[in-house]
Each structure stands twice: as structure tokens, then as C-alpha cells.
Structure 1
Amino acid sequence: MSAGLRGARKARGWSQERLVRELEQYARQNLTDVASTASLRVYVSEWENGKRVISDRYAAILRRLFGITDDELRDAPTLAVPPTTDGYDVLLKRIDMASSVGLGMVKTMNDQTELLRTMDRQMGAAAIVDQMTGHLSALEDSLSFAVLPDARRPVALALAGAASLAAWQALDTGAVERAWRHYELAKKAALDADAPMYLAHAMGEQAYVLCDAGRPALAVDLVRDAQRIIGTSGSPRLLAWLSATEAEICAQAGLLDGCRRALAAAVATIPGGSEDRDPDMLSIFLNEAHLARWRGNVLALLGDDDAVGSLYGALDVMDPTFVRAQASVRCDLAQAHLARGEYQEADSNVRQARLLASRTGSVRHRRRINLLAERL
């Protein structure tokens, strides 16, 4: 039985018939062949009931549709690789390969992470799950066989950034356990690199997993631990990001005083100007305009009347390629309009959020949209 396929389908809210249509649409868009509609109906049923093995060709399509790994799709346990009788030659070859990874190769790895970040922002995480999995695997291999600290640190930094991105993508597609494990990988890599800023960032994002799971108070503690790790030594943009994260999660936890205090700290810390990338933390996108959107999100959670104006203002200046961020703002606006009893405006934003979320395949946004729709 393919519990992985069934679980991924249900997480999207798809029927088996909808999955058949998605397979056919994928085939049309990518100029590839799939079985007839009648045969696909049989395949989907038999895949889910364990009567037919998912072929590699269909597995590749399903992974892209759902944004899951091959193990998650097939619900397969991770098997240990049996030891060889004499693996020293292989080991030494891998150590030699890792030692030859210079700064140029590390830059190429970081460039690949940036490319995947851009693709994720525009297309959604589901479309690049195979590329992200392969990229992480290559970085882990390089780090595992790098012996000396000078060789390990730059690779560990690259892995910390890539693993945090992979974790956020996994959370977006509903693969919660994979997200948690990737954040743990990012934290270990940051420790290996002696990079407290990367560690704090991974902890801050990991807090969202706890918050989504219904443990916002524990999530607040994790964010505050991240802030203690870097103290005042982190970059101002990262400090503002952590404060804004704390404010949002405090709002979820009902800690109103802590929320407003953290929000004020974020506003006081954020550097001025339109630049949004931190040279020391390329995974951080934050400037005054982004923070205004985030502030609107927090105010919406608090039911504050100022949320609506702040959010519409942020939407007007938002980069149109940030599709997932636009879906998030539309959810925030629906939340803010609901708090004011403006149900027609809330419904309009829920509908637009649903359309945007469908473009990225975001299970996380779909869950939030459904909760908002229930209140209309």
C-alpha cells in the first residue's frame, strides 16, 4: 500500500479523479505520454492499495506534482548501506575528492542554492523537490568526507543555508517531518561552521514548525533562545528578522505584551533603504517595506484595525515574482477583514489567496485558507 501517495493526495485535498486530471495536465504541459484516462484511474487506485508498483517514470511526475521525495512517495524506510569487506580505497577517494573542493566549487554550490531559491519563489517548492534533494545530498557528501576545519567550514556554511531553504520548502509542501530533519541538519552544519547567525536563523524558522503544530509557546522559547545565541553580535537585518518572528509567534501564543515589544524592536532595528538582502545572511529578505507587510500580518493576528491599511500598502509595492508571499498577504488581509466583520472583502482575499496558492502547490497556505474560509 502506498500510504505516502494517499497521504500526499489528501494533503492537497485532491480526489483520485483530480489526481488523474493533474497527471494528464502535466503530460500535456511537458509533452510527455501517460496512459489513457481509464488506465490512470486504475493505476492510481492500485498504487494506493499496493496492487501496482509505481514505476520510476510515474514516480518522477508524482514527486513533482506533490513536492515529496521518493521515500515519502513510496513510504519506504531508509535502508542502511551494507558495509564492504575492504572499503579503504573508496573512502580515500572520497576524502581526496572532498579535499579538492575549493572556494570556487563552494561558490558554485551557493549559486545553485540561490537558483533553487528563485525557482521556489516563482514556481513553488513542489516543482523542484528532486533538484533540492540532489543538491543537499551533494553538499552532505562533501562535508562528510572533508577532514580539516579549513575545508569543512565553507562547505558547512553552504549546507546550513541550503538545508534551511530545503526545510522551508518541505514545510510549505506539508512534509513536516522532513522539514524538522532539515532544520536539524542546518543547525548541525551551522555549529560545524561556527556560524551562530546561521544557527539562529535555522532555529527561528524551525519555530514555525512548532507553531504550526499547535505549540506556539514552545516556539516562542525557541526563537528567544536563537536571539540569546547571537545577542547583539548579529547583523541588524537578522536581529530585526528574529524580532519580527518572535512578534508573529507571540501573537499566535496570545502573548500580547511580548508581541508588541518584539514588533517595536524589529522596527527599531531594521536598516533603512530598499536593500533587502543581508550580505552576511543571503537567506534573509527583509527591508522596511517587507517589515511593513510583516507588521500588518501581526496586527491582523491581533485584530488591530491598522492591519488592513498596512497590508494593502505592502501589497502595492511587493515584487510580483514573490507568488507565495502574495498568497500570504492575501491570507493576512482576509484575517484582518474578518476581525472587522467585513466578510465580502475577506471572501475576495481568500479567493485570491487560493488561486495564488494553487500556483505554488503550497499545502501550508491551503491549510490556512481553509481555516479562514470556514469563518466566512
Structure 2
Amino acid sequence: MGEGLRDARNARGWSQERLVREIGRYGRQHMTEVASPASLHVYVSEWENGKRRISPRYAAILRPLLGLTDQELFGASDSQGIPKADGYADLLTRIDSASSVSLTMVTTFKQQTELFRTMDRQLGAAGLVDQMTGHLTALEETLNFAVLPDARRPVAQALAAAATLGAWQALDAGAIERAWRNYELAKRAAQEAEEPMYLAHAMGEQAYVLCDAGRPDTAVALVREAQRAGGGHISPRLRAWLCATEAEICAKAGLADECRHALDSAANYLPAGPDARDPDMLSIFLNDSHLARWRGNVLAALGDDDAMGSLYAALESLDPTFIRAESGLRCDLAQAHLARGEFDQAQEHLRSARLLASRTGSVRHRRRIDQLRQGL
């Protein structure tokens, strides 16, 4: 019962004592009464050893602290608490409710996703786990009981966008299985919505799960399949994003020539100008500055001396609200300095990266920081 809690705590590099302090801090900030530190020490130990069940009050604190769902905390069913349609009258009520979802309501769903995307970018994913879980559940329930294609497609498109964001947040929080399942949900929704761009984007992001798991060759194949799935229906900016993704994963697969070719393709597809947002795919932020950072990341992975200039240029122009992106950029700079034997500079960037990763609760970045520290 307590393995999920222990694993999440360890993934953040927190001791039990640190978790106790974080629970106390959360209680003070949110004016929520919690037990004394001495009692919390006992609770945490007993939670992790399966001797005490996590109460709903403490589950509500641990979820945003660690970025976990109830299922991940103590193995509850995904469907726990969701009422099931029981009998024809109840079924028809749900169908009627889903069919009455107007375009205005779909727009509201999309606005919620956009709000969560902004909060995630600035504050990190962990604190959004409850909101995102509820958001995806509401969209799934609406789609499950919508009948005709004209009613289903707009909801499916909204679900594809939200599930892809939820998957990336789960990956960042270290919830790998949830990330994978959300990507699969996003792909199914995109296919039902007949939206090749949303399908290609979900597949491209899903490739990172495989890459992080140590299967870069399979990840390269998936991101290339994403480009084929999009065909001629995807925007130039998304095409550039997919090529840059391919370049990053090729670098990790040791495919240097293919990596450089993909980087060149990304630069060729990327529309000129300072605009970063893709109007056809709002989850894509990519302009020359972002691509310079990406190029630096890729070249650093290849051990190329040209990485340094691209990375420092990207750091200078980075939007200060992209907190998680800066953490990743600092890791890239540390990697580039390590390749040159410049250990003091690498150490400095890793310290900054760790602070930023702590602010956003990024397990993924913390794992990379720990790997880079081994080279010091």
C-alpha cells in the first residue's frame, strides 16, 4: 500500500524527514491542520510500511506535493468514486446530458486545458494532479456518452489535447505508467476526432517515454511514424517540432548524421519571425530562440563544441516564465561544460537546475541532474 508513496519520495530525493517538513509547510500555507512533526514521522513510516492507511485528509496533501493520483498512492481503482450508468433511465440521462454539450462547453474544456498548461509551465505539474485528473475524467465521461459523430468529434479533439498535456505532466512527475496510458488515450481521441496533427503530436511526445526508458531506437521509429501519421495535414511549426524531436532522440541513439539532418530539416520547416505559438496546435511553442536551445541540447549530447554558443544564446532569450525549460537548459549547459572538462561551470549550472527542478517538482529533471553529477 505504501510503495507508491515511498517510490515518489525517493524519486525526489526526499528523506522521510523532508517529507514531514513539506507536509507541515503545506499545512501552514493552506491553513490546513496537520499533526505535529513527531506524529507525522510515525505516520509516514507507517504509511510506507503498510501499517496505516493514508486518510483522505492527508491524501489531499500528498497528491499535490508528490504529483500522484489516488491510484498511485494506494492502488485505488481508476474508476473509484465514478458512478456507473445503472439501468436504461440512468443511461439515457447520461446520453442526453452528453448530447447537450454545446460548442461553448467544448471551448470551456479547451480553456481549462490552456490554464493548466500555463500553470504547469510556471509552477510545475505536481500541484495540478487533482485538477488534471478531474479534467480528463470529465472529458472522458462526456465522450463515453456522446452518441453521434458530430457531437463526439469536438469533445474528442479537446480530450486529445488535454490527455497529451496530462501525459507530459505525468512523465515529468515520474508517473511513467500514467504517462503512457494518457498518451494512448490522446492517440485514440485524436483518431476519433480525425485530427492528424493531434495524433502526430501525441506520438512524438510518447517517443520520449521510450527514450527515457532506454529504448532510443524504438523512440526514433515512433517519432518518424508520427511524421508519417501527420502526412500533409500538419502545420510547418509542428513539422519543425517533430524534426527537432527526432534530432534529440537520434542523438541519444548515437545516430549523429541522422541527428544533424533532422536539425537542418527543423530549421527549414520553422516559420520565420518571433512568434512561437502554433495557432493550429496551441501546445507547440517553437521559434528561432527555442530551436537554438534545442540545437544546443542536441549538440551537447553529441559532444559538439558548437553547443555552447547556442545554449548561452537560448538562455539569454528564454522567457522567464518557462521555469521547467530553464531547468532543462541549465542541464544542457552543464553537459556541454562537462564535455569540455569545465567542472566548476558545470557545477554552477547543476545547482541552478536543481533549484528550478525543486520549484516545479520535476522528477524527470532531477533524474537527469543526478546522472550529470556523476560526471563531476
Contact 1:173–1:363 under 8 Å retained in 2:
yes
- 1:171-221, Cα deviation, whole Å (9 max, x unpaired): 000000000000000000000001111000000000000000000000000
Contact 1:2–1:75 under 8 Å retained in 2:
no
Q: Which moved more, 1:86-95 or 1:366-375?
A: 86-95
Instruction: Show the counterpart of 1:149.
Output: 149
Q: Distance in 1 between matches of 2:340 and 2:67?
A: 36
Instruction: Show the counterpart of 1:128.
Output: 128
Shift of 1:76: 3.0
In structure 2, the CA distance between the partners of 1:208 and 1:84, relative to structure 1 (3 Å rule), is closer
Instruction: Show the counterpart of 2:240.
Output: 240
Q: Distance in 1 between matches of 2:248 and 2:237?
A: 17
Q: Distance in 2 between matches of 1:317 and 1:332?
A: 15
Shift of 1:82: 11
Q: Distance in 2 between matches of 1:233 and 1:37?
A: 57
- Residue type matched to 1:45 in 2? S
Q: Distance in 2 between matches of 1:113 and 1:235?
A: 21
Q: Distance in 1 between matches of 2:209 and 2:85?
A: 42
TM-score normalised to structure 1 length: 0.97
SS of equivalent residue, structure 1 residue 53: coil
- 1:213-267, Cα deviation, whole Å (9 max, x unpaired): 0000000000000111123331000000000000000000001111001000000
Instruction: Show the counterpart of 2:72.
Output: 72
Matched, 1:320 2:316: no
Report how many aligned residue pairs link the two structures: 376
Q: Distance in 1 between matches of 2:298 and 2:191?
A: 31
Unpaired runs of 5+ in structure 2? none
Instruction: Show the counterpart of 1:10.
Output: 10
Q: Distance in 1 between matches of 2:287 and 2:173?
A: 26
Q: Distance in 1 between matches of 2:287 and 2:83?
A: 51
Q: Distance in 2 between matches of 1:30 and 1:98?
A: 35
Shift of 1:366: 0.3
- 1:79-134, Cα deviation, whole Å (9 max, x unpaired): 68999896111110111111111110000000000000011111110011000000
In structure 2, the CA distance between the partners of 1:80 and 1:215, relative to structure 1 (3 Å rule), is same
What aligned pairs does 1:193-212 form with structure 2 within 5 A after superposition?
Answer: 193-212=193-212
Instruction: Show the counterpart of 2:298.
Output: 298
Q: Distance in 2 between matches of 1:75 and 1:39?
A: 24
- Residue type matched to 1:358 in 2? S
In structure 2, the CA distance between the partners of 1:297 and 1:90, relative to structure 1 (3 Å rule), is same
SS of equivalent residue, structure 1 residue 35: coil
Shift of 1:49: 1.4
- 1:2-54, Cα deviation, whole Å (9 max, x unpaired): 11111111111111111111111111222221101111011111111122111
Q: Distance in 1 between matches of 2:227 and 2:119?
A: 30
What aligned pairs does 1:34-183 form with structure 2 within 5 A after superposition?
Answer: 34-78=34-78, 87-183=87-183
Unpaired runs of 5+ in structure 1? none
In structure 2, the CA distance between the partners of 1:361 and 1:254, relative to structure 1 (3 Å rule), is same
- Residue type matched to 1:244 in 2? A
What aligned pairs does 1:343-354 form with structure 2 within 5 A after superposition?
Answer: 343-354=343-354
> How much is the aligned-residue C-alpha RMSD, in angstroms?
1.5
